[in-house]
Amino acid sequence: MSRVAAIIGGGVIGGGWAARFLLNGWDVRVFDPDPQAARKIGEVLDNARHALPMLYDVALPDEGRLSFCPTMSETVAGAEWIQESVPERLALKRKVFQTIQEHCDPGAVIGSSTSGFKPSELQGCATRAEQIVVTHPFNPVYLLPLVELVTSPANDAGLVARAQDTLTALGLYPLHLTQEIDAHIADRLLEAVWREALWLVHDGIATTAEIDDAIRMGFGLRWAQMGLFETYRIAGGEAGMKHFIDQFGPALAWPWTKLMDVPDMTDALAQRIADQSDAQSGHLSIRQLERKRDNNLIAMMRALRQQGNAAGRLINTHNAQLPRPAAAPDGPLITQDRVIPVDWTDRNGHMNEGRYGQIFSDAADAVLDRIGAGPDYIAAGHSYFTVETGLRFLAETHAGERVEVQTRITQGTGKKLRCWHEMRRKADGTRLATCDQLMIHVGLDTRRSCDPRPDILAKVEALAAAHQRLAPLTSG
């Protein structure tokens, strides 16, 4: 039976939560009195379907079922997770929680997307205070992993642990904060930068475009992989963080920033910011900006995956937990089932030929895992090396397409392991490319060919015999 999440409030954040749950296989119910809620969430979901699967090397679970309910009571009844994303008004949120708790399972997690209120404030009029926690995400919720999980002494430890497990299983990073403070951690940091940026515009020092360039061309790139303190640790050189503080600490007393003050948001300042923002990016629609943002985030996070850092490490962990294609007892092996990411395309707008080598190499790794010649076998000093491939490109493959690689063992004798891979479009079965790959078993101590371990060879021979009974191959 599918797990059920209830989303109360279907704006940008609520829609992002709905997409994150849906694309991880949960059924999602939404309550929002806005007559445009279905359209708005549909557009967020379209972007999420394009973006989130590109982070991974295997297909996400089958999408859950989305439904819109006319009442809050129907929405939350029986739901395992309830996410409140209504406007930032404390009285409204408390009223929503009272209604939710009248109709929800007492064991359900009730998370609030609030960016400012403390959990103890939200729990003020609650029937069961222990059930309500802050789960503050970042936009787009379906891509950015951070969720500030803020709790109070009233919260049940078991419920908090379940909340952490659920968020982690969704590919999110729950940062558990046990000390309450207005605006939590991340928004307080953002507020500091925002205040200084407002002064720079107010005083005519910089435009909105110049401020954004200063961030995205400079320290923003460092922050994406190292955050603040690790970045400054490196800035201290071999002497480390203490040297950095000794060198730059005195600057804290200099009147560089205006963090304790903020310019009056007059109509004139608001209009100046709006005009500069229009000049900067008004030629793009909001949906175009969202798609641009998502594609950039995908490319950056996939780059971090290669090094296993920050968000990349989290994606690698979640990727390893996603289900692999099921074995086909009476057909070829399904060695890849994934979505083509945007960073695999070239200037012609289709998949770069080098990436075909990548996906067929990944398919070969899946074969080796299947026969027991995976990481443990390699650690013991044995492996298979590719010595020859023959690729044919039969049709264009584009970013966002879900593809499947079907693999047959066409030769499995002695040191030789030969695979025939076919990449097909999942939607219609179109054959997109083929690869004839010959691998030779080697000993890693000598880096020369040698016989495989008998149990490995037996599995290769059994697969080869089974695949010989399939319909004949066609190369066209």
Q: Which residues are annotated as a binding site for NAD(+)?
A: 9-14
The DSSP secondary-structure symbol of 289 reads: H
Q: At what angle do helices 12-22 and 37-51 cross, to 10 degrees?
A: 50
Can you say which residues are annotated as belonging to the binding site?
9-14
Show the tokens assigned to 404.
């499947």
Compute the distance between CA of residue 146 and CA of residue 227 in angstroms, rounded to an integer: 13
Compute the distance between CA of residue 423 and CA of residue 160 in angstroms, rounded to an integer: 43
In terms of residues, how long is the chain? 476
Compute the distance between CA of residue 221 and CA of residue 280 in angstroms, rounded to an integer: 20
Q: For residue 79, report the phi and psi dihedrals to the nearest 5 degrees.
A: -75, 140
Report DSSP letters for 394-442, one per residue: -S---TT-EEEEEEEEEEEETTEEEEEEEEEETTT--EEEEEEEEEEEE
Show the tokens assigned to 429.
């079965």
The one-letter amino acid at 154: A
Question: Residue 255: which residues within 8 A CB-CB, separation 6 or more?
Answer: none
Compute the distance between CA of residue 203 and CA of residue 138 in angstroms, rounded to an integer: 30
Compute the distance between CA of residue 358 and CA of residue 364 in angstroms, rounded to an integer: 10
Compute the distance between CA of residue 187 and CA of residue 174 in angstroms, rounded to an integer: 15
Neighbouring CB atoms inside 10 A of 118's CB total: 19
Show the tokens assigned to 335.
């060695």
The one-letter amino acid at 130: E
Distances (CA, A) of 369 to 135, 196, 385: 38, 53, 14
